[in-house]
Amino acid sequence: LTIKGRPNEDAVLCTNDTTYSMRSVVLSNSVLVVTPSDGDLQLEKDRPAEDADADREAIVVRDQINEVIELSKCVPKLHQLAGLLRGKEYDGEEEDEMEDDEGVGSSWAVISMEAKQEVQDAPATQPVTYQSVRDSVQASDAELDRGLRDRRILQLNGHLRPISPSYLLRFLELVLNQLVAHNLKPDAAPVETLTNALADADDVPRAVSGQVLGWFGTIAEGKWAMDARAVVREIGLGILREHRVKVALLERWREAATDAFEQLCELPLLAGNYIVTTDLDGGPGPLKYFPSSALPVAPAARFGELFLTRPKWKSEDITPFLTDIAIDSKERDKLLLKYARATTTPDGIWYTARAQYAA
């Protein structure tokens, strides 16, 4: 068990796979901590067998408990990763490294004095390691590992680096092309063959391709079984960032997914990452990239942002934007009951904002 929390945070308790909030609860009844008396064993020997009090044991009151810590499952604070890793994206470009003092000297010799001063004044970017994140982020080890995977964060040379969306989109398109070019089965592609092809033809480091393949499928006995829906969804998200017209988005998406997987390209796969705007006539307009990961984590602020964006939400439209702040559907329904007002119409259930939000 590990208790995590910085001075300005509420502490949480983490097991190997779950995070719990901690709340002090005052007890109405007294609870005593007692232990056997140190002299009990000797008293037992000296006590006559016919003693009427032979079954009575002496105890010592060690302490009195007036409150206990109540634990409740809570959502891990994985949003902290965004701040810790800001500015450390990996986009496929290798950084130049100075091998020795001579190399450093020659580099300084060819830049101006003004440039030298800018480099000297620039703050050093400290690398972020897995252990430093494990120590500071309020999440269990299993939840942290899953969060790094879901947020597409690489571990390179011992440092954590989020992969840029544009590079990830390009990588997945290259993977699909290599599967076709080498006639590889998506559910049993040899990992070595695929990573070598990506390295030789597309300059993708094997350390990168191996990790990314693991995000989008399972690797066993040297074979990669692709999760087609996950790959197609991620490609769709990458394209969604640049396309607003539904027809153009679907056309580009299906082209990138290739003929083998174009049937999976449906907008519901991208739920929780976009909204449909309204045109001047009140009909559906262009799509708007609106990822739930960019919304506030606090429930009150999350609902405030949602209802500022759109005053009225249909049930199936708003629920995808709440999955990352609720541990399950029951908790999500409690949040809706607390922060939104439901109205049932022939079209379904609609939610509007309550007059005030409680923190």
Using one digit for the tens of pLDDT, what is the confidence trace for 270-315?
A: 999 999 988 877 778 899 999 999 999 999 999 999 999 999 999 9
List all residues 6 or more positions away from 115 whose beta carbon is below 8 Å from its beta carbon: none
Task: Kindly state the average pLDDT of the residues 226-245.
Answer: 94
Position 296 scores a pLDDT of 93
Q: Assess contact for 82 and 148: CB atoms under 8 A.
A: no
The model's pLDDT over 157-173, given as tens digits with 9 standing for 90+, comes to: 999 999 999 999 999 99
Q: Assess contact for 198 and 189: CB atoms under 8 A.
A: no
What is the distance, to the nearest Å, from the Cα of residue 128 to the centroid of all Cα atoms in its chain? Answer: 16
Share of the chain above pLDDT 70, in %: 85
Task: Kindly state the average pLDDT of the residues 99-126.
Answer: 38
Q: Hey, which CATH number is domain 295-359, 1.10.10, 1.10.3470, 3.30.40, 2.60.120?
A: 1.10.10
Beta bridge partners of 87: none
How far apart, in whole angstroms, are the C-alpha atoms of residue 295 and residue 301? Answer: 8
Share of the chain above pLDDT 90, in %: 70
Position 37 scores a pLDDT of 79
Question: In whole angstroms, how far apart are CA 274 and each of 8, 131, 162, 269, 325?
Answer: 33, 34, 22, 11, 17
Collapsing DSSP to helix, strand or coil, 171 comes out as: helix
For the chain, the domains span 295-359
Q: Assess contact for 89 and 51: CB atoms under 8 A.
A: no
Residue 7 has pLDDT above 50, yes or no: yes
Position 308 scores a pLDDT of 95
The model's pLDDT over 19-46, given as tens digits with 9 standing for 90+, comes to: 999 999 998 888 899 988 776 555 555 5
Q: Between residues 105 and 338, which one has the greater pLDDT?
A: 338
Helices (H), the chain: 40-46, 80-84, 101-109, 113-121, 130-136, 141-150, 165-181, 191-202, 206-215, 228-240, 246-261, 299-309, 315-318, 329-339
pTM: 0.79
Q: Between residues 307 and 50, which one has the greater pLDDT?
A: 307
Residue 109 has pLDDT above 90, yes or no: no
Q: Assess contact for 267 and 253: CB atoms under 8 A.
A: no
Q: How many CA atoms lie within 13 A of 27 on its CB side?
A: 11
Question: For 141-147, which contacts have Cβ atoms below 8 Å and span 24 or more sequence positions?
Answer: 141/14, 141/16, 141/17, 142/16, 142/17, 142/18, 143/17, 143/18, 143/19, 143/76, 143/78, 144/76, 144/78, 147/76, 147/78, 147/81
Position 104 scores a pLDDT of 32
Measured torsion, CA atoms of residues 235, 237, 243, 247, in degrees rounded to the nearest 10: 70
Residue 123 has pLDDT above 60, yes or no: no
Position 114 scores a pLDDT of 38
Position 151 scores a pLDDT of 95
Residue 358 has pLDDT above 80, yes or no: no
Position 118 scores a pLDDT of 35
Task: Kindly state the average pLDDT of the residues 342-348.
Answer: 92
List all residues 6 or more positions away from 297 whose beta carbon is below 8 Å from its beta carbon: 77, 79, 325
Position 142 scores a pLDDT of 97
Quickly state the pLDDT bin for 107 (edges 50, 70, 90): very low
Residue 240 has pLDDT above 70, yes or no: yes
Task: Kindly state the average pLDDT of the residues 255-282.
Answer: 91
Please state, rounded to an integer, the average pLDDT across all residues of the chain: 86
Q: Which amino acid is at 65?
A: I
Quickly state the pLDDT bin for 111 (edges 50, 70, 90): very low
